Structure 1
Amino acid sequence: MYRVLQGVRETLQLFSSNDSATMADWDMWRTGKAVPRDYEKENSPSTGDGNVEVIYTVAVLEVGPLSEANSNMTATIEYSMAWVDDRLAELTNYVTPVSSTLLWVPPVAFGRNVRRVAHIKDDRKHNSTINLWLQRQGILFYKTTRKLELICPPNLDKYPFDDYKCSIKLHGYGRVVFPFRQPSKYYRAQPVYVDMTAVTSQYEMTGLKLSSRVGPFNQHTDTDTDCVMFEANCTFPANDCPLMKGCSDESDDCYGCKHFVGTCSYISAADQCSNTSSGLSTLEVQLSFSRRRWSHVFRTFVPSVVIVGCSWISFWLHPRDVTARVQLCVTAILALITAMANNRMKLGVTEVRAEDVWMCGGIITVGLALMETVVVNSVLRGNIIMPSFCKRRRPRVEPTPGPSTSWAEDEETVDTSSPETADKIDFFSRILFPISFTVFVIGYLLHYVG
């Protein structure tokens, strides 16, 4: 294993060099003249246990935006693989480009969530068709870049406080195994890195998980039954990399952002996986995202709070200003409904989201303020029966001595005092409505954010 890693490291170091002799040998390998006559590309390299161990490195070069309407997202992934083929040993004295169409390469296929695959050509290389190199010890280094169109349905129940995960699976066939590999003092290259300057999404990338496992050959089997050979969990702290788009690799900060690794922890359980030759080997890259929320705070939550607060101005208007109070509340309701409808039409989703719950809470609050205006107006008109504690009882006045009159009333009189009752309703509304809405906001944040 150490010999393979050393070979990969030497290949990576010599890959960028311009050697005219190396490029001259490309013509011989491209035409097949340098390929041994008894070599059969259909047969995998012979090993002791029958498994072909493929050392790998994964680079996430670009991540596009997610479409909530059709659950599509694009990602450009670069896979670098290395393996040993003793049949090709001692055929060259240096790193030589060879033809991938004439030699055995690991048979791999992407998982079901990859809808479309596009080949990416690297113009920085001398020849865009060269993607396989051979070293003297028979070590082959294979590099391929694919732009993938992924199907990763998001869970929008907590929108816009939702997190998002998308997995990219690469299945290896023909007894191909992706073994354990992690940085060490001999080989410090990371198994996976991300170009953070090319992550253009409404989400921010918060982590990455790389796992190599072997499971039953039936792809429809639950992944929980797979045996994990190697796992790397990397967390990405908040940084300024998204602000360095289009930067040059000459600076250390730019290079660090284009080869960002984060803080990784590694788990190896290769010894616990037995009978790997009869299973399906899978190399999975799981991207973790968290939605960028500040734009939603200033675009949705702050305006809606202001609209709801403006509806409470009706409690400070005179109870007889019915027209102004009704217009204020109705305008606030229509503004909230319009904002809610526009967001749903733009995203093209039908499920109930956290944002819908928020907007409905604001609409209900403003609707209750409108009902309060109706109640106050009814009290002023005397069309509503008020509770006894809202009634004002007049004190009994003793009649003054004098001649008796037939129209004098000596019984106790009761007055509802409608204007004062309406003022009391407005007074309590000024206190209860803000408190109730504050309780709703706290409960909302605890449920969806906490």
Structure 2
Amino acid sequence: MDTPHPRQVLDLALAIGEILLAEGMSASDLVASLTTVTKAYGIERAFFDVTYTQLSATCVPDLGETPITAFRMVHQRSLDFTRVRALDQLLQDIGQGMPFGDAVATFEALRDAPAPYASGWTTIGDATLGAGVVLLFTTNWRDILLSFLICLAISRLVRLLDAYEVPVLFQQGAGAAVAGLFAATAAELGRRDVWPFVGSTPALLVVGGVVVLVAGITAVGAVLDAIDEFYVTASARMFETLMRTVGIVGGLLLGLRIAEAAGFAMTVRTDAIPLGPFPAQVLGAAMIAYGFALFAYADRTTRLLAATMGVTAWLSYSLAVFVGAGETVSNAIGALAATFISTLIVRHTTVPSFALITAALLPLVPGLALYSGLLMTVGTTADTANVAGGSQGVLSALMVALGIAAGASLGTFLGRPIADRVRTRRRLSDANPIS
């Protein structure tokens, strides 16, 4: 097994790639990771094709021989950053000369390993994320608590629907409908002076519930793939974003219609919601990144680093806004700073870079702007539809997503050479210790 056939090497590389692509790794990083596997086991030239739902690899063992091609379908699975961290460590070990048989055995063990903690903790992570979103805009404890509870319900519902293999479009719609119903109910109970709903802000409850459905994350990944010239994968991810967003808007409108039929209608704000006190913004950004990492089965080290990088992204964004940069440029600067620092940090740890970066960028993603623009386009009623204003909001959200992706791509590009030099210097130091 230590001198494997090229097909065995391709099979191992694609099996690793299937998990990493399903977990959200960009196509560019994925190809770089798979190339590590093939080169480590004697295949100097391998060609990979990434089409989001399928991976393929081709190599020519020797000049004049028949090319060998392998395919693998990519099946969607729940996020598990602990598995990603183990795979990242496996890739490092393979690059440092791990025998092929040991690599296969290690991969099979981590592939079949159970989740590191109970699914209830991922639900709490989702709820923490939603509460963090609301904390960006207000310090009203009622809104934060109610958002936490709404997101608990949404997370459990989506997980239940996923267990029954309900399409993602309807999962998103059901979750958004719950957000709309809960927010409308809270508004009605507040009007009737029922504690603790008095003084709550229903619009923020909708925002917390909708953003936790993560409409904007895939858009950033899609733009990042487009920048890296993986256009097929970028197109697929962008269309997935569109379908998820359609589900969210449709579900929210359905929830509001049901509430209206029950006699407690609520008008959803589609204008910009001002940010709250700056210390609360920083704490909210940390909660968003930490909550997402908890939702994604990350270990404690990854969760803490994710929260730190989320704060870094938000501080950089806020500084850029303070000096007068536009919204798109400010988000790009925040993404660049967080990604650059994350790329340097992961070279000193076993934390996977893309998992850390994904969580760090979450406070910046334009989920709220995208939702507001689409909701304005279709209108909460036929009379309130504003196609021109809504289209402008959607375009602004896409520009922000482009800025975030550009900043993330540039931060990774700038950070990798520095990190690689540091790693090489450390290896030389370990190989030649000073006595």
TM-score (normalised: structure 1): 0.22
Larger Rg: 1
Counting strand residues as a fraction of each chain, which structure ranks higher?
1
Counting helix residues as a fraction of each chain, which structure ranks higher?
2
